[in-house]
Amino acid sequence: MTHTDTPQITGGDPSLYNDDLAPIPPERRSWGAFEIFNVWNNDIQSLFGYTLAASLFLSYGLNGWLTFAAIVVSGLLVMWLVNLSGRPSVRYGIPYAVMARAAMGVKGARFPALVRGIVAIFWYGVQTYFASTAVALALRALFGVEAVEGGFLGLGTVDWIAYIIVAGFQIGLFLMGIEWVGKFLNWAGPFVYAVMIALALMIWWQAGNGIWAEIGDIFQGGGSETSTLAGFVAVVGTMVAYFAAVVINFGDFSRFVRTEGEMRSGNFWGLPVSMAFFSFIALFITAGSVVLFGEQLTDPTAIVARVDNMALTLIAAVTFFAATVGINLVANFIPAAYDIANMSPSRISAKTGGLITAALAFVIGALWVSLISQIGIAGFVDTLGAILAPLYGILIADYYVVHKRQLAVDQLFSASPSGTYYYDGGWNKRAIAAVAIAAVFSVGTVWLPALQSLSGFGWLIGALLGGGLHIALSRRN
C-alpha cells in the first residue's frame, strides 16, 4: 500500500481538525529512507543509549556474540513493531493522535494522546537538562570555570546559561518546521557516528593492541549467575523497552515519508544494523577504558574527562548535545506537540502545542536536580508509560483486524453522532475497557516485585493483551 490513499481534506469539525493534524498530501512529503534512518540514529546515540549499549555486554555475563545477537533480535523486533504502527500514517498521512480516533473514538482518542503527551513532556524536560550538561561542559572548558555545588535550584550560573541555551535552541528548531528538524537529524546522526568512531580510534591508539585482549575477555562472558537464556531474554527485553515510547507514535514521523518502502528501508538500516554497529563502538571504547584507566567506564563523559584534551572535550560536548537534542525532538517534543494540539485543535496548533510543551518541560528540567530526582517521580511516569503498552496493541489490532486496514479518514475529523468513529458519545467504551484490563498487568510490572522481572517484556505482553481483548470485545459487539 502507498500513500495514494491519502484523502484531500480541506476542513473538518473545528473540535477535531486543524492544518497540523490534517492528512499530509503526497506532494508535500519529502522524507525518505535516510531521514527515517537518522530518526533512529539520534534515538540510539544519546548519552543514555551509549551507556545502555555498553553495559549490556557487562551486566548479564553473556558471551559477546550472544549479546550482539540479542541486540540484533531486539532491533528486528522493534523494526517490525514500528513498521506496523507507521504503515497507516504513510498510507493516510495522519499522525498518531488522529489514527487513535478509529479505535478509541473521536473524543476518546484524547485519552491516549494525553497519556503519551504527559510522558513526553516529563522526559523532554529531563533530556533538556542532560543536554545542557554537555553545553555547560563546553562553556567551562572554554572559559576555565570550575564546576560549583549549589546555586539556584542546584544549578550554578554556567548551568543556567547552558540550560537556557538548549531550551531556546530546541524551541527555535521546532518553530522552523519539520523540514529543519529533518535536516538537523540528518546532520546530527552521521556527525555523532563520525565523532564516536574518531574517539574509538583515539582510544585504540592510546591503549594499543591490548584493547583486543580486553574485548576478548568481554566476549567470553561468564561471571554471572543469570542463565544464558535468561540473559538473552533480558537484553532483548531491555532494548525493546528502551524504544517503547517511540513505537506507539512512530506515525508522527512516517506521515512525512514518500513511500512505505522507504519507511521500511530506513527502519532496517536505522534499527538492527545501526544498533549492532553502535553497540560495537560502545564495546570497543569501554574495553579501551579498561586498558587505559583500569576500570570499565560506560559513561562517555567520564571517558572524555579522563582523556583531558581540550579539543576532544569541545567536540564531545557538541556531539553529546546533538545526540541528546536529537532524541528529545524525536521521542518527546514532536509527539507532545501533536498530542496537545489534539486536545483542542480549534485553539491549539502544533506550534502552540510545542510552546506549551517547552514551557512545562522547562520547569520540570529546572527542578530535576533539586526536587524531581530526589522524590522518585519516575515511577509515576513509568506507570503512564506502562498504560501505553495496551494502547499500542489496541491501535494495531483495531487497524489490521477490526477495520481490516481500511479507514474512512474524513470520519476521523467528524463530530457528528452518526459518524463512523463517534461510537458512544465520541468514546469507544469497549476499547477503554480493554486498556483498563490489560493495563493492570503492564502497570504491575512497574510496581509489583513478582512482575518486575518481566518489566522489559511486560510492554510486549501488555500490548498483546490489549490487542487481544480489543478484538474479542469488538467481535462480541
CATH number at residue 21: 1.10.4160.10
The answer to whether residue 312 sits within a structural domain is yes
Grid cell listed for 209: 593492541
Q: Which residue segment(s) compose the domain that 170 sits in?
A: 3-383
pLDDT value of position 89: 96
- Residue of 143, 117, 466, 439 whose CA lies nearest to 313: 143
Tell me the average pLDDT across 37-42.
89
Domain count for the chain: 1
The answer to whether residue 288 sits within a structural domain is yes
Percent of the chain with pLDDT over 90: 39
Where is average pLDDT lowest: 2-16, 312-326, 361-375, 440-454?
2-16
The answer to whether residue 278 sits within a structural domain is yes
Tell me the average pLDDT across 453-468.
83
Question: Considering Cα of 120, then 123, then 124, then 127, what sign does the dihedral take?
Answer: negative
Residue 201 has pLDDT above 50, yes or no: yes
pLDDT value of position 411: 95
The answer to whether residue 210 sits within a structural domain is yes
Grid cell listed for 158: 554556567
Coil, strand or helix at 93: coil
Grid cell listed for 31: 522524507
Please report which confidence band the pLDDT of residue 8 belongs to, taking 50, 70 and 90 as the band edges. low
Residue 250 has pLDDT above 50, yes or no: yes
pLDDT tens digits for range 360-370: 999 999 998 88
Which residues, including other chains, have CB under 8 Å from residue 400's CB and lie 6 or more apart?
Answer: 84
- More confident of the two residues 336 and 137: 336
Please report which confidence band the pLDDT of residue 1 belongs to, taking 50, 70 and 90 as the band edges. very low
pLDDT value of position 100: 95
Please report which confidence band the pLDDT of residue 42 belongs to, taking 50, 70 and 90 as the band edges. confident
In 147-220, where do the E strands start and end?
none
Residue 349 has pLDDT above 70, yes or no: yes
Tell me the average pLDDT across 369-377.
74
Grid cell listed for 110: 484524547
d(C-alpha 239, C-alpha 108), whole Å = 31
Tell me the average pLDDT across 255-283.
94
Residue 259 has pLDDT above 70, yes or no: yes
pLDDT value of position 113: 87
- 10 Å CB burial of residue 277 (0-12, 13-18, 19+) is middle
The answer to whether residue 458 sits within a structural domain is no
- The H or E element spanning position 317 is helix 310-328
The answer to whether residue 450 sits within a structural domain is no
Residue 221 has pLDDT above 70, yes or no: no
- For residues 31 and 258, is the Cβ–Cβ distance under 8 A? yes
The answer to whether residue 219 sits within a structural domain is yes
The answer to whether residue 429 sits within a structural domain is no
Residue 226 has pLDDT above 70, yes or no: no
Residue 414 has pLDDT above 80, yes or no: yes
Calculate the average pLDDT of the chain. 86
Please report which confidence band the pLDDT of residue 381 belongs to, taking 50, 70 and 90 as the band edges. low
pLDDT value of position 404: 95
